Structures are given as structure tokens and as C-alpha cells.
Amino acid sequence: MSVSLPTIRVEPLEPRFAEAAQRWAERLGLTLGGEAEYALQQGEQGLQLAELGPKAPGPVRVDFVEGAVAHRRLFGGGSGQMIAKAVGVQSGVRPRVLDATAGLGRDAFVLASLGCELQLIERQPLIAALLEDGLQRALGDPDVASIAARMQLHQGNAIERMQNWQGEPPQVIYLDPMFPHRDKSALVKKEMRLFRPFVGDDLDAPALLTAALALASHRVVVKRPRKAPIIDGPKPGYSLEGKSSRYDIYPLKTLQPQRSE
């Protein structure tokens, strides 16, 4: 049974952003203006996605410079964070990571801020557009430009890209598949309400895991809600559990510190 996607338009929030809005409309195959349930809006603060209607939540955009991501960068605990431990960040070890379910890029940004080189794949074109816009703005900010420069975004199907990977494989592949019951924070609730009509649940998570295990050289890390079942397939070697999330780790090879020249 096919599910119809909600209608979406592109619009500039001010006349001076009309040209940029037109470019996004052409790239994404969307209409500029007109009746719609959602709007991809270009404005002073960048590109944002908004649900239209009287009871709609506020818009969502990617911001690596200010807000929650900046607070996490400055006060989040550095290499002591659970995600850092999960991917293997330790003294002398900053693995090359592929985030195959990039979303809005927050976890990837944390790892990049710790010195890891990140490849990101996002298959939903709207989310990829928001992420691309956020990365471009971050590259222009002196505080985070060096972090954003360690993040390379690809839009497309992660399973296909992993199966047809060119060049040196990533040491660590990080997966955070969409799941029905997630973090209950107000921010995530708003984002899930906006994105779920376009994204749905990742029913192909087992295929994602299979492709990741075939490509990664050292480990695969899967982020799950704390009480969620493991993804169908091989069992993880071990898990790290926090208050709301859990990291299932599939070790393939030990990460070794880089030797100084």
C-alpha cells in the first residue's frame, strides 16, 4: 500500500531570499508558493522546515553555531560522552566514522568536535537540505568552521552507498535508525512530528546493519532507545546504556592509537 507524502512548498521569508528559495525549489523538485501542509522556508537564519496551520509547532533548522548543539559542544563532557566511548574515542584514537543515518547531524557534530573525520549519509532530501544549509553556515563561523570542515555530507540511500563504497572503508559506522519511541524531550518531539510524515520508521534497519558490518573495518555502533530490542541480525558484542539511549557495539577489530610521525 503506497503512502501519500504531505504537500510541501518552498517560500522566501523576505523578498531578498527569493532567488535562494527558487534554487532549492528547483533542486528538490518542489513548487515555489501555493497551497501546502508544510513549507521549506529560506530566511535570515538559514533554511528551515515548518508545518503550516494554527496548532503547528515552530520550524526546525540545523544550527551548529548556537543553541543546544553549541551548549553540548562546550559543556557536554567531551570525550567522556557515551557516544564518544561507543565509537572508540580514546587517547590517541580518533576513528574515521561514517554516520549512515545522519538526520540533523547532531551526533556527527559531537564526534567531529572531538577530532573525528565524518562522512554523513542522509536519504531524505528535505533533511539533507537542512543539514547541507547548516553545514554551510557553520563553515562561515570562526568558532565551528574547523569542526564543520571534518564533516562531509552525501545525500542518498545509505545501504546502496555502503554496498558500492569507493576508497578506504570507514573504521566505524554509526547507525541511529528512526524508531517509534524516542527521546521525549520537547525538541525531539517537535522534530519527530515534523519529519515522521516524510521519513516514517526505518523498516530496513536490519539491511542497514548488514551493509555496515560488511563495510566497517573496526566496529559498527547502533544507537537505540534504552529499552528497544536489538536490530534483527547478529547480536552486539556489548552495549553502553544511558538514561534514555543505548549504544549496541559490534566490534570487528581493535582500534589502535595513531603513531606520531
Annotated binding residue 106: yes
Annotated binding residue 63: no
Q: Are 222 and 98 in contact (CB under 8 A)?
A: no
CA angle at 158 for the pair 238 and 226, rounded to the nearest 5°: 35
Annotated binding residue 248: no
Q: How far, in Å, CA of 98 to CA of 208, rounded?
A: 12
> How distant, in Å, are the alpha carbons of 16, 51, 190 from that of 196?
31, 12, 10
Annotated binding residue 141: no
Annotated binding residue 9: no
Q: Binding-site residues, please?
A: 106-107, 122-123, 176
Which residues carry a binding-site annotation for S-adenosyl-L-methionine?
106-107, 122-123, 176
